[in-house]
Structure 1
Amino acid sequence: MKRERVTVWRRQLASLGACSLLVAIAAGCTGSSASKEPNSVEGDAFSPFESPVTMGIAYSYSDISLPEGEFTDDHFLTRYLEKKTGINIKYEWEASGEEQYNSKLDLAIRSNDLPDVFIANREQFRVLVQRDMIVDLKPYYEQYTSDLVKSIYDATEGKALKEASVEGKLFGMPNVAIEADSPTYVWVRQDWLDKLKLPAPRSLDDLERISKAFIEEDPDGNGKPDTIGIPVNNTLIYGEKTGVHGLNSVFSAYHAFPKSWIRDEQGHIVYGSIRPEAKAALERIAKWYREGVIDNEFVLRKDIVDIVELNRIGIVFAPWWATYWPLSSAVAKDTKAEWRVFAAPVDSNGVFMTNSSPTTDRYLVVRKGYAHPEAALKMLNVLTRLERNQEPNKAEAQKLRATAVQLGVQLRNYYPFDLLLDYPDAIEKRYDLLIQAKNGDIDSETLDPETRSIYEDMLLENKAPLKNMEAWSTSQAYLLGGAVSKQHKVVKTSLFYGVTPTMEKKWTALQKLEHETYLKIITGELPIEAFDAFVSNWRNQGGSLITSEVAGLVDGNE
């Protein structure tokens, strides 16, 4: 994989003077890091408290179903966690989804009424450190962090912990993003391509032709003109976090990187959303909207999942893991559906361009005054071990997963907090091992526990195709998504993910201006020429000053 110069975000705290928070500007490629096997017995990292400890948590939930008689803070998984850690989980408050969670947490920070342990995003983390509201976890790290968690952090070459540290203090346990999660690929119904005798997509023109053919030529054979264009999320473009139905890869094909701070041809720091390349991409997308290539009702559509599940679409923009969601529900309803993934659309030179996400974007933190900061680390150890399929009691772990499957929900949706920890190059490494085991080049018994579990899902899917949707989702994600993740690509990484002083006052309004302008141009409410006025307004309303501030931070730390 070719990588352009990579720098990770830097943050500045005005109250700390010249001292900056969460800085890691580094150059070069992020290569594969060998992971070390965690010890099976690690003393304080996994030993439960002798006397029960209560931990108040802010809980963000989505898509959960509970067995009869169980509650959000007293169910099959919380009881497992309490047994393993000696920690009694108490939800101080609950929130439905990320937006509500952040709103409630912002209020809790302002009122200084914090839960004992909670997840904070980057901006919340900055404020918490600035106001001296959270615990320095460095004194607890070596003694209470498991070898598995340490090895994952080590695999980031120091980036993850550095981004959670200020003046030598570790104020949170950061998540670690999987590098393969960043690119947005195109997933296409291969059975429809075969029926209409269409080649696999490569370019933007290919996608346009395929989408029109799917709409006009009745690929599902039901005799109804009910196929819809490519679904689009109202977000339009994902910034730091990737997602489904975003238009990132369309912009990338034009070498446009909205929401990213990049360098122009002269080496100056610029904001990708106001670049001429973004204008060219918007013009193409507006054409697609007019012609129905993309779903021309996406603005009003309340739930894209409905049209996906009803198999009314044949193209989806999504990461490598799309077979977990949303494609699993579609295939469950139509087992004839054959989805394939492609590193497309490519640019005019035939190269797949993509943006990348930061190494870290959220943190597990502990409020000052909580008597047992080490409890947060113990809980993280147990959850990470479970998530990475390294729970020593295999039967117990399988029972948990079976319960979640029976309820139709991923097990991690029941976690008291969601702080994903995995090796940055995990997907590519597991793909290589799976292919070697499949071809008989290595003994499957030598696979690490997580890869072994995936391999068993592959065997199950081969033996009984589409009889177990969890096995189908996992095997297809790693075989198809893993393969495309290893293909050549050029990755563009934002040089800055922080907040400058002017951003604190102006950024919300500028982001609203950007989204409204993009949306109106795409839907035809504004002509493409309105982009130039948008750029001028963006600069005059604080964008130029913000650009200078970002440039000063980036250039001053290289």
Structure 2
Amino acid sequence: MRARADQRAYVVLLSRLLLMLAMLIPLLISCSNGNSAQQEGQGETSGDGVFPSIPSIEEDPAYGKYDEPITVNIGFKIPDEKNASGETNDNNPVSRYFEKITNIKVVHTWEAKRDDSFLQKVNLAIDSGDLPDAMVVDRNQLRKLIENDMIADLTDVYREYGSSLIKAMYDSTKGIALQDASSGGKLYGLPNVAIDADAPSLLWIRQDWLEKLHLAPPRTFDDLARIAQAFAYGDPDGDGKRDTIGLPGDKKVVHGQDKAGLNGFDTLFSAYHAFPKNWIKDSDGKVVYGSITPENKEALTMLADWYKRGIIDNEFVLYREAQEPIVSHKAGMFFGPWWAPYWPLAEAVANDTKAEWRAYAAPVDGDGKFVTHMSPTTDRFLVVRKGFEHPEAVVKMLNAFTRLERRQDPNSGEVKKLDSFSAQTGVQLRSYYPFDLLLDYADAITQRYVNIQKALRSEIDYSSLDPDTKLIYEQSVAEMDNPKKNMDGWKAAKAYEYGGGVLYTTDMVQVRGIFYGTTKTMETKWAALQKQENDTFLKIIVGDQPISAFDDFVAEWKRSGGDIITGEVARIVNGK
């Protein structure tokens, strides 16, 4: 499952910004167990905020180099970036480095650019039975490969050859990642791991505007509405014009299972305990599609009222890009992820250095809890063709490029050369990894937040920080020494101080979806059902349809295949 096309541009831009900090924002607070619908708890770390100790390459046999060359034929997804001059997808400084340290030669059986093309290539390989030695598949393709006994059981291979680094990252998901890649107690794929913190949508507000208008920070719906109205009608920028807005929105209304979205109303729905575009279990333990529950009607009623009163920007449907009102200083509040200081706030603050943005976990529900839905912990799986002679070679390659990505590679001189190559060409090193499968600790953001705060208070030695955290610490110190003049420092400091800090300190109810795949009926019915849902929600909010249209939507959704799909999802979830 991938972000939609218009969100992909956001992720690409974010990645380029993060390259400057040599850190990864891969692709939902994962503190629940299995398929439980809800779990209550504070944003967590591993306890003391310190990443697990990783043995050196000499101490970890998972990195052992083959005595004789091994060839692995793969299906390769071509990155969006253009190759550096003189380099190719399968022969470049990164591929040559991996071959040097592993003695594994990677050969591209086929290549495909962009998600749709790659998806088609993988499906063709599965349907024809002509699989490369290894490739990355989605959740539905993994299930099909398992059902047709086409891929290797990696249980023992992973146990023996998986590095302590990737095992620690998988362990950070509390078993969810490996469970998603398993069937019948056997491990059939090596999953990616998404950062938990990417899922919650926080309320970002211009603190300088709050102070100018003598407003207290928000907590409840009423607080948010009062602030939005003041921003829309109270001249917070002091130019004597009515050119600012309240709360911006998005034509998609909610982002649902997707991540990296701006201006979605997910948090507002969640505060009503509505979770549109997510499959969940209701209070009776039954599988239900989150968009058709009664709580959605309550949320839509409130949103329609806010739109009518001007609390929600009445022109939000006209924006071509979600960030437009934010970077143009029309908006002083919006919903977005923890990394908003990297984008779009870096651009906004560069244009107006007086802007002081802060994040809040608001609004809360009737019990005073902040509620958030979760994105999938994993959505891609590295699989190995059944019968391939060296399945461990695939695991060793994952070990190698994960160690490089997480900046724990002991070959510092070689890595510096690779970083220099990336800086000179503008091509990210990960574009040349053999597989599009990135891992990090599920709780990486809150862990790094804790470590940075301890280092700033001299409670732990700065030199003991892991490489990613050390770099962020240095950027944060640079911002403290030279506020807002060092934009890299500003981005790192604000993302972790406010975004990571809010996630770490907030006691939140975290709701995890129970199904992220595709059923047989979905293949023919889902696109139309999604369009019907999006159109209905948007039209109700902007006043083109009455709130009673929600009831009509639910009835039509059920008749048009929704009930059949719900039954299919229930059978998959319940293992029948």
Per the alignment, in what secondary structure is the counterpart of residue 489 of structure 1? Answer: strand
1:512 partner amino acid: K
Encode CA deviations 1:282-306: one digit per residue, 9 max, x unaligned. 2222334445544444445332244
Quote the residue 1:343 is aligned against.
Answer: 361
Query: Which is worse superposed, 140-149 or 336-345?
Result: 140-149
Instruction: Note if contact 2:479-2:485 (Cα within 8 Å) is conserved in structure 1.
Output: yes
**What's the offset of the Cα at 1:536?**
0.9
TM-score, L = length of structure 1? 0.84
**What's the offset of the Cα at 1:277?**
0.9
Instruction: Note if contact 2:37-2:282 (Cα within 8 Å) is conserved in structure 1.
Output: no
Q: For residues 131-530 of structure 1, what are the structure 2 equivalents within 5 Å? A: 131-221=148-238, 225-245=242-262, 246-368=264-386, 372-394=390-412, 396-397=414-415, 400-401=418-419, 404=422, 412=430, 415-486=433-504, 487-500=506-519, 502-503=521-522, 506-530=525-549
Query: Which is worse superposed, 333-342 or 365-374?
Result: 365-374
Shift of the 522–392 alpha-carbon distance from structure 1 to 2, 3 Å rule, reads same
Per the alignment, in what secondary structure is the counterpart of residue 363 of structure 2? Answer: coil
Per the alignment, in what secondary structure is the counterpart of residue 237 of structure 1? Answer: coil
2:440 partner amino acid: D
Shift of the 461–401 alpha-carbon distance from structure 1 to 2, 3 Å rule, reads farther
Shift of the 111–494 alpha-carbon distance from structure 1 to 2, 3 Å rule, reads same
Percent of pairs with identical residues: 48
Per the alignment, in what secondary structure is the counterpart of residue 304 of structure 1? Answer: coil
Once residues 72 and 495 of structure 1 are traced to their aligned partners in structure 2, the CA distance between those partners, rounded to angstroms, is: 37
Shift of the 273–50 alpha-carbon distance from structure 1 to 2, 3 Å rule, reads same
Instruction: Note if contact 2:452-2:469 (Cα within 8 Å) is conserved in structure 1.
Output: yes
**What's the offset of the Cα at 1:183?**
1.2
Quote the residue 2:54 is aligned against.
Answer: 38
Once residues 108 and 394 of structure 1 are traced to their aligned partners in structure 2, the CA distance between those partners, rounded to angstroms, is: 39
RMSD of Structure 2 on Structure 1 (CA): 3.6
Once residues 317 and 413 of structure 2 are traced to their aligned partners in structure 1, the CA distance between those partners, rounded to angstroms, is: 46
Once residues 538 and 88 of structure 1 are traced to their aligned partners in structure 2, the CA distance between those partners, rounded to angstroms, is: 47
**What's the offset of the Cα at 1:502?**
4.7
2:344 partner amino acid: P
Instruction: Note if contact 2:83-2:427 (Cα within 8 Å) is conserved in structure 1.
Output: no
Shift of the 182–196 alpha-carbon distance from structure 1 to 2, 3 Å rule, reads same
Instruction: Note if contact 1:444-1:452 (Cα within 8 Å) is conserved in structure 2.
Output: yes
Quote the residue 1:8 is aligned against.
Answer: 34
Instruction: Note if contact 1:60-1:417 (Cα within 8 Å) is conserved in structure 2.
Output: no
Instruction: Note if contact 2:245-2:330 (Cα within 8 Å) is conserved in structure 1.
Output: yes
Encode CA deviations 1:289-333: one digit per residue, 9 max, x unaligned. 445544444445332244444444322211222223332333333
Once residues 400 and 311 of structure 1 are traced to their aligned partners in structure 2, the CA distance between those partners, rounded to angstroms, is: 39
Once residues 351 and 128 of structure 1 are traced to their aligned partners in structure 2, the CA distance between those partners, rounded to angstroms, is: 42
Shift of the 33–116 alpha-carbon distance from structure 1 to 2, 3 Å rule, reads same
1:463 partner amino acid: D
Once residues 345 and 425 of structure 2 are traced to their aligned partners in structure 1, the CA distance between those partners, rounded to angstroms, is: 18
Per the alignment, in what secondary structure is the counterpart of residue 507 of structure 2? Answer: coil
Encode CA deviations 1:461-503: one digit per residue, 9 max, x unaligned. 2223334433332232222122111211111223444555554
Query: Which is worse superposed, 183-192 or 424-433?
Result: 424-433
Instruction: Note if contact 2:134-2:384 (Cα within 8 Å) is conserved in structure 1.
Output: yes
Instruction: Note if contact 1:328-1:469 (Cα within 8 Å) is conserved in structure 2.
Output: yes
2:394 partner amino acid: A
Once residues 294 and 37 of structure 2 are traced to their aligned partners in structure 1, the CA distance between those partners, rounded to angstroms, is: 27
Instruction: Note if contact 1:521-1:527 (Cα within 8 Å) is conserved in structure 2.
Output: yes
Per the alignment, in what secondary structure is the counterpart of residue 94 of structure 1? Answer: strand
2:560 maps to 1:534 = no
Query: Which is worse superposed, 197-206 or 363-372?
Result: 363-372
Once residues 413 and 521 of structure 1 are traced to their aligned partners in structure 2, the CA distance between those partners, rounded to angstroms, is: 43
Shift of the 409–88 alpha-carbon distance from structure 1 to 2, 3 Å rule, reads closer
**What's the offset of the Cα at 1:555?**
6.1
Instruction: Note if contact 1:242-1:357 (Cα within 8 Å) is conserved in structure 2.
Output: yes
Shift of the 65–496 alpha-carbon distance from structure 1 to 2, 3 Å rule, reads closer
Per the alignment, in what secondary structure is the counterpart of residue 203 of structure 2? Answer: strand
Once residues 548 and 235 of structure 2 are traced to their aligned partners in structure 1, the CA distance between those partners, rounded to angstroms, is: 36
**What's the offset of the Cα at 1:39?**
1.5
Shift of the 490–116 alpha-carbon distance from structure 1 to 2, 3 Å rule, reads same
**What's the offset of the Cα at 1:75?**
5.0
1:37 partner amino acid: S
Instruction: Note if contact 1:185-1:317 (Cα within 8 Å) is conserved in structure 2.
Output: yes
Encode CA deviations 1:390-421: one digit per residue, 9 max, x unaligned. 12234554554566566677665664544232
**What's the offset of the Cα at 1:370?**
5.5
TM-score, L = length of structure 2? 0.81
Instruction: Note if contact 2:45-2:446 (Cα within 8 Å) is conserved in structure 1.
Output: no
Instruction: Note if contact 1:8-1:496 (Cα within 8 Å) is conserved in structure 2.
Output: no
